Amino acid sequence: MIKPHGSDELNPLFVYDSEKRHALVAEAESLPSLLLNSAAAANAVMLGGGYFNPLTGYMNKADAISVADGLHTADGLFWPVPVVNLTRESGVEPGSRIALRDPNVEGNPVLAVMDVEAVEEVSDDEIRGMAEKIFRTLDENHPGVATFTGLGNTLLSGPIQVLNFSYFQTDFPDTFRTAVEIRNEIQEHGWDKVVAFQTRNPMHRAHEELCRMAMEDLGTDGILIHMLLGKLKPGDIPADVRDASIRKMVEIYFPPNTVMVTGYGFDMLYAGPREAVLHAVFRQNCGCSHLIVGRDHAGVGDYYGGFDAQTIFDEEVPAGALELEIYRADHTAYSKKLDKVVMMKDAPDHSKEDFVLLSGTAVREMLGRGEAPPPEFSRPEVAKILSDYYQSLDS
């Protein structure tokens, strides 16, 4: 199986030894506390699950700026997006040991214990400088920019020990998986070559067929359908609805034992090309050999070119920085001429009218009225789940 990023073995920061974990939970009750924001909490969950291997905790200022500027830490580790604990709180001292509390679970239980190596102030100009490199814009209407620039100016860095996986394990027990668990499951399947499909949306016919194309073209043993379970922008479909619709599609339309439907506990960054590279890093840590990168991968609005998330791998990712390879996908749609889903680049003789194309707005309106989109666009079983959800919003 493919090696994790940056090390021979995966080193998750979750404390698996139950005796040590119970002792840490007890110790945490007597430690000074910091209530995390959702972004820092999501970083802790990803560190705990091994997704952010080989990091040992939150980055310091020098590493964060180096990663934003040039996709590597100060000591040269390839990394695409700063993994930081930015806060508005003051009063934390370097050298202290603190309990990090979860903002997303009632009662704010301790999520992790942190040994604070440094407490650094980051100026507004430095925050904005990092944001511009990560998101390629400083437009406050960009949800990622708005979040990142609003986290605070105090940066706490140092190693952490993770005690639980926030709400992800309890709210999505059948879907949430750590990178450790996914690696183990891939091994149990006996799969060697695995392609990952990233999604924050339900999957329609084009997505389904894209997964099939990738599996066939690459000759993979299986596919990891890997959905984001954390915070999204308003209007995106909740994780439980996405989960149900994807599972139904896989159950009916894919051969048994070819698909793993799983999810990960992270908040969407909407960082386009940089987030695509982050997706590649943590899919390598999951044991995947390939990642599907399609049109406007991890994008939002019109901030990125259609294929910027592919060209970043040619222009900014150094040769050999990742073992995982990307599968480059074009926009996929149902061809009326060929009576099947194709990549548009493979149908040069087609005009726009030859494809079944529906905007997201049009699909949402149809589903809200209880109308199913054409079966060439969405499987009826998937459309039923989504329609029930949209109609529930109006009732």
**Positions marked active-site:** 200-201
Cα–Cα distances (Å) from 99 to 131, 154, 267, in that order, read: 28, 17, 21
Strand residues in 69-214 grouped as ranges (E): 85-87, 97-101, 110-115, 118-121, 154-162, 194-199
Q: Provide CB contacts within 8 A for 21, sequence distance 6+.
A: 15, 163
The three-state secondary structure class of 69 is helix
243, two tokens: 């989960």
Q: Which two tokens stand for residue 323?
A: 């073992």
- Listing from the earlier edge strand, what are the strands of the sheet with 340-343? 340-343, 332-335, 355-356
Which two three-digit tokens encode residue 208? 């389904």
CA–CA distance, 163 with 129 (Å, rounded to integer): 33
Contact 45, 265 (CB under 8 A): yes
Q: What DSSP string runs through 234-287? A: TTSPPHHHHHHHHHHHHHHHS-TTSEEEEEE-------THHHHHHHHHHHHHHT
- Distance between CA 312 and CA 293 in Å, rounded? 11
Q: Of 182, 190, 201, which Cα lies nearest the Cα of 389? A: 201
Give the Cβ contact number of residue 311 at 10 Å: 12
Contact 84, 58 (CB under 8 A): yes
Beta-sheet strands, E only, within 275-366: 290-293, 325-328, 332-335, 340-343, 355-356
Contact (CB, 8 A) for 58 and 158: yes
What pairing do the DSSP bridges indicate for beta strands 33-35 and 97-101?
A: parallel
